[in-house]
Structure 1
């Protein structure tokens, strides 16, 4: 009975998906720039319901009134890919909008009822659970944050750490110049530094300082992007752009089938991509289980040292 029910559900989703395409409902994708992750996200979106989308790329447009252009096209739904794209379409209130590849949508949105989407963030609880599997010896974590930029993420991290039994030392910072002294104060108190996507905390200068601090005191850095792992952080827990696109496509399908966007909750990315720099692991004296390494992306340091 269970297997039959599962088969029926899959068939219904397939029929709904193809039905939307055949019904001629038009989807307009507005993306900030042409970069590989955004292209992967579009592919994932289109795969979720076998649909084709008309595209506008903001970096290609010059002196174009986007709102007028959208009105001329008259889409049934807008997909906003990237922060600039979401900022540009938030003024549109009469067309459903699904966003993705946006790190901190809360900094852009202000309760728009026609907007939902997938945050470019793996839930903090999932990140901490993943971290404890990779580095089970980590019991105390430090992080810095600007309350206006990542306060919401830190609250989630604190709640998650409490559930898992990890001590989280979170310090507020309001300028990049305050980062070094606050990090130094954590020496001897933390087993790992968690670098959040916070532009007050993360600058080229502060990241260079963090790498030096990490190597000198054998304190690994966990970050949100593999580009920082390539530069010397130990590990990143990031998102899968194609799967995020698929999530957004599933949400779009629900809306185009008649559900109100306000009834489709905003969510975090469901799939985590783990990257580890093995050269840095060796420098820090960290051993990572072979079973763990089979499921991660292995990165080697770009620097010649």
Structure 2
């Protein structure tokens, strides 16, 4: 069959256009694929928090700041259990189902629920007191599995607090209000009781189940104790003003477990900033998101700084003179 030169030219030109278009599209896709790295990906972070209160909120702020400083683009699915453990379990299940890239578990119950919900998605926790006792990790040095993070217990915090009550305030008995259902709280109370065996001091316990029980439990300690120590218990700290009012009205010095509780009216705390342990947890998350480390490779961290913070107004209410030798800083 005879083909004219005009028809032949059209065929050759059309073929060139098609090949050129295919080549151009392949090059564009390849370029986009090569440019897509960890720094340009938008990550979905699930956040599980047991309850709203300043310390946990500060830890979450620190976590976000660490990711922001590292250039991680993230959207956060934040869910608060409002102190309800059944809701806590539902939150963990929902976050796993939604396919988040990482879970930030802010408290011991939140971390336990997340760990039960997934063995695949990386979990970073903070505001956890006893990660080993809560069965979150195999050991502090070698967490194992898909979970690690930062704890809110400095090894010297409780001992410094008890020494301060005994040596500086001449306390003989310590009242502790806590939720026995929170493993982190039980661990702290047991640590105090063990420590006081050699200090000629006693502990009076008052257990609560909900924040509504806190004031009555605190009042039950009146006449039995000459000091109080409120640990980092989520249930009690969420209703801290109830404890403060009872303690101050009855001139009972009340030490607390973290700085936000000092700002709210507690007398003093040997502690650290929750923002800092949240930030340190965020730095761990960055390494995981960038593929540099796995949770099992990152040891659980303790708080890096410990200092004494006091509330001067509360000290004045109690008629307490603050000594220079205490080297105390003051809350805002």
Give your verdict on TM over 0.5: yes
Matched, 1:297 2:330: yes
Give structure 2 stretches of 5+ with no counterpart: 1-35, 81-90, 138-143
Q: Structure 1 CA distance, aligned partners of 2:157 and 2:58? A: 25
Q: 1:253 to 1:136 in 2, by over 3 A?
A: farther
Determine helix, strand or coil for the equivalent of 1:58. strand
Report the aligned-residue RMSD: 4.3
2:246 maps to 212
Residues 83-92 or 167-176, more deviating: 83-92
Structure 1 residues 71-120: Cα deviation after superposition (integer angstroms, max 9, x where no partner): 6xxx4xx250524864774322113221224578789866693112113x
What is the aligned partner in structure 2 of residue 29 from structure 1?
Answer: 45
Higher-Rg member (1/2): 2
What secondary structure sits across from 2:316 in the alignment?
Answer: helix
The aligned residue for residue 88 of structure 2 is: none
SS of match in other structure, 2:45: strand
Shift of 1:277: 1.8
Cα deviation 1:32-61 (Å, max 9, x = unaligned): 5895552233213555xx35142322259x
SS in 1 for 2:203: strand
1:114 to 146, 152, 158: 146
How far the C-alpha of 1:195 sits from its partner, in A, is 1.2
Normalised by the length of structure 2, the TM-score is 0.59
Structure 1 residues 89 and 200: CA distance shift in structure 2, 3 A: closer
Cα distance in 1 for partners of 2:61, 2:247 equals: 36
Deviation (angstroms), 1:253? 6.4
Aligned to 1:245: 278
Say if 1:283 and 1:58 are closer, same or farther in 2 by CA, change over 3 A. Answer: closer
CA distance in 2, matches of 1:160, 1:42: 36
**Shift in Å at residue 212 of structure 1?**
3.3
- State which of 278, 282, 304 in structure 1 corresponds to 2:316: 282
* Residues 93, 65 of structure 1: alpha-carbon distance in 2 compared, 3 angstrom cutoff: same
Shift in CA distance, 229/129, structure 1 to aligned 2, threshold 3 Å: closer
**Structure 1 gap ranges (5+):** 1-21, 300-305
Contact kept? 1:179, 1:201, Cα under 8 Å: no
**Residue 70 of structure 1 aligns with which residue?**
99
Residues 100, 245 of structure 1: 8 Å contact kept: yes
Contact 1:211/1:233 (8 A) holds in 2: no
**Secondary structure at the counterpart of residue 184 of structure 1:** coil
Name the SS for the 1:269 alignment partner: coil
CA contact (8 A) 1:114 1:262 kept: yes
Distance 2:243 2:65 in 1: 38
Q: So what's the TM-score if we normalise by structure 1?
A: 0.64
> Where do 1:21-60 residues align within 5 Å?
24=38, 28-32=44-48, 35=57, 37-44=59-66, 47=69, 50-59=70-79
Distance across 1 between alignment mates of 2:94 and 2:208: 35
Determine the structure 2 residue equivalent to 1:94.
Answer: 120
How many residues get paired?
260
Aligned mates of 1:203, 1:242 — CA distance in 2: 18
How many Å separate the matches in 1 of 2:234 and 2:110? 19
CA apart distance, 1:183: 0.8
* C-alpha separation in 2, matches of 1:198 and 1:245: 17
CA distance in 1, matches of 2:146, 2:325: 44
